[in-house]
Structure 1
């Protein structure tokens, strides 16, 4: 927990604490616990599209919350030990490697030139093409990757306070402290750009902030927390979100998937569904897996279910990526699944190093890139 003088107490839950609370909430004892469901066996698949691994690169040890940051043709990765690595997305060639000086609590954010990470010492560290240019102390723990845009570095704490720094010299520009007492999760939240607005997850709300001043332009409630204990009331927004035009879609932890018109600052639709991974979107559909890895595609226009698939139940799916005619998921056995966006039919399956795919697949041009828990980066080109 964190507490600032003159500010309300804000609460955040670690994954371990959630598990303990969940155990206390059920009647069965957790000394042995229910047997974990077995992953659904993969069906034999005759590939319907072509694709192959075009490069792979072992980068080092990663955290379960490590994410890939892509800008242009540069992929930036913040590693567990504090190393920050930039790779060329086309070839996997290492462009530069730097050291933040301490283990990381948040993955890297980058605009291709500047890269920023946050250490376990609550310091944001910023690099210019691999050269450290400044570092600044933060007021709370950070697990959400910084956002680097418009020569600014935006940082969001687990208390969901947002801070803006000048990317060139580290000058603090503003701090936006949410009102109320949101119950939040120590898992990366939503922090993304939309035109001239900064979108920030604040509990169960998606807030639109003025990136120059930090003032609130709108707040939209995506899910309504309910229940009698902390776990049941937790509806914190988790990243990544998906965008199609003026609509941004996000997941509220174990509560809902919803879409917001970020131009108008209004809710388009929200559907109650469990799950803890982020979502992907295109101009027609919103994609996500639920807590059991059942995949659902909702129609972007109204939230009606377009299709649902149980082919990958309990396989430990990653957050998805929408890429052309496909939606892409990784799983806990290191497989990357390319599905038809129209009906969820499997089109292609490629294996990596057998370690879980973490974060979400990302796209750079025609290349799709994933990160494994073993610290390897794999790049594919479907055809």
Structure 2
């Protein structure tokens, strides 16, 4: 169990543990309970492995969010113990491999030319996409868990104490810094910034989404996803723990003990919102919105009016990943390393796979060819197709 307070990691004993974000305790809006046992499922759809490999020791028992970078025809993945690989997205063939001397805390970020990682010692490193060779490095003021993000000209890193720092991608020279306000206690989470040509969107543990100008880091607008309530610091947790989802000229965001909202990306004006509590960003597909709630429920809302269509509660408190949409199905992972397959139509469980006994934490990703990429905490990297059983 981990709670981040003033840059420190504190441990304690509470009634239940939410290991997905290193938090234990009770809140005013969520009654924490023990995770339900893995449900028995009569599978009608199965996971067909396209390719699979291991990337070092994965998170190596660290509480990290090392998500692979899906760059079209190539997948880049890193492990906490310093292994960096480039893999053919179609075949899984290893294109190149680097054994870094550093332990890695955040990544993989990238643009057309470079990859970006943050080390345990809080160095931001730029590496070549061609062979993984180091191009430059610069020290950050403190640790970062979120993967650095780049628009090709600027690379932006966000540290756990709320600082947002922008660097020139060619030289590593610092362009600007924005100092956000963080509460005394927050989730050990990793909402990566969104970096566009003109705007950088940064999510903070005080429940605010802030738009910064890409050229100078000046605040343009801010939106409150969650408002702290309650008497204790635990009750007042309102972190935005998942990277917001950009939809044309709007951005969709959800927060812990906050709300699900759609915001105009140009002005910060709310288009709509509804009460929600989630540790992940929402996902959209087929005109609907899908959300993994903080209590483990998977919920579907109709996009046109946000009316609840269905709720699947058989995965309660299993610390689910963000849902991935695969044709007429949703896929989520859990803290014990199971993959669960749900019908997008009614939320029923239609498939299941035991994948990585170390658990699943980072989001599942759809690839350019439609396949599903999964990276487990233990370092197992796989690509699947879904197929109906005969």
TM-score under structure 2 length normalisation: 0.83
Alignment-derived partner of residue 74 in structure 1:
74
3-state DSSP of counterpart to 1:154? strand
3-state DSSP of counterpart to 1:358? coil
Alignment-derived partner of residue 134 in structure 1:
136
Q: Please give the alpha-carbon distance, in whole angstroms, between the structure 2 residues aligned to 1:143 and 1:17.
A: 22
Structure 2 counterparts to residues 159-178 of structure 1, below 5 A: 159-178=161-180
Q: Give the counterpart of 1:377 among 369, 374, 381.
A: 381
Alignment-derived partner of residue 20 in structure 2:
none
Alignment-derived partner of residue 59 in structure 1:
55
Structure 2 counterparts to residues 112-123 of structure 1, below 5 A: 113-123=113-123
Q: Please give the alpha-carbon distance, in whole angstroms, between the structure 2 residues aligned to 1:176 and 1:283.
A: 38
Alignment-derived partner of residue 239 in structure 1:
242
Alignment-derived partner of residue 306 in structure 1:
309
3-state DSSP of counterpart to 2:242? strand
Residue 204 (structure 1) shift: 0.8
Q: Which runs of 5+ in 1 are unaligned?
A: 1-9, 27-33
3-state DSSP of counterpart to 2:301? strand
Alignment-derived partner of residue 341 in structure 1:
344
Deviations 1:84-126 (A, max 9, x none): 2222221122222234432122232122531111111111011
Alignment-derived partner of residue 86 in structure 1:
86
Give the 3 Å change call, closer, same or farther, for CA 186–355 of structure 1 in structure 2.
closer
Contact 2:55-2:78 at 8 Å conserved across structures: no
Residue 320 (structure 1) shift: 1.6
3-state DSSP of counterpart to 2:190? coil
Contact 1:158-1:185 at 8 Å conserved across structures: no
Q: Please give the alpha-carbon distance, in whole angstroms, between the structure 1 residues aligned to 2:248 and 2:198.
A: 14
Deviations 1:272-311 (A, max 9, x none): 3334234323473322222331111223344332221113
Residue 318 (structure 1) shift: 1.6
Alignment-derived partner of residue 287 in structure 1:
290
Residue 18 (structure 1) shift: 9.5
Alignment-derived partner of residue 3 in structure 1:
none
Deviations 1:162-210 (A, max 9, x none): 1111122211111122357685432102412456422110231111222
Give the 3 Å change call, closer, same or farther, for CA 236–334 of structure 1 in structure 2.
closer
Give the 3 Å change call, closer, same or farther, for CA 167–185 of structure 1 in structure 2.
same
Q: Which runs of 5+ in 2 are unaligned?
A: 18-22
Alignment-derived partner of residue 248 in structure 1:
251
Q: How many residues are aligned here?
A: 365
- 1:277 corresponds to 2:275: no
